[in-house]
Amino acid sequence: MLQDVTYYLIFGKPLILYLGVLTLLFLLVTASIPVLNKQGIRILPIRWHAVCAGITILLALIHGILGILAYI
């Protein structure tokens, strides 16, 4: 059953691929917020760093759980 969810195709690619890409993008955004703020580029306030970190952790957990449980 979990394999059906994990490998559910969206535009011909499995869901787990999109979760991995989304997790990586949020990780990069999370890391770039303090770096940009330190350089004086304040696109996002520093409080968004914690929000993005929480979303990144949640996405990584879902991605990892789906990946592991697909083979159990």
pLDDT digits (tens, 9 = 90+) for 12-64: 999 999 999 999 999 999 999 999 999 999 998 999 999 999 999 999 999 99
Q: Roughly what angle, to the nearest 10 degrees, separates helices 15-38 and 47-69?
A: 160
Answer yes or no: is pLDDT of 5 > 90: no
Contact at 8 Å (CB) between 54 and 33? no
Query: What does the DSSP 8-state code read for residue 1?
Result: -
Residue 3 has pLDDT above 90, yes or no: no
User: pLDDT-based confidence at 1, cuts 50/70/90?
Assistant: confident
CA 57 to chain centre: 7
The residue range of the domain holding 26 is: 2-69
Note the pLDDT of residue 59: 97
The per-residue pLDDT for 72 is 81
Structurally, how many domains does the chain consist of?
Answer: 1
Number of H helices and number of E strands within the chain? 3, 2
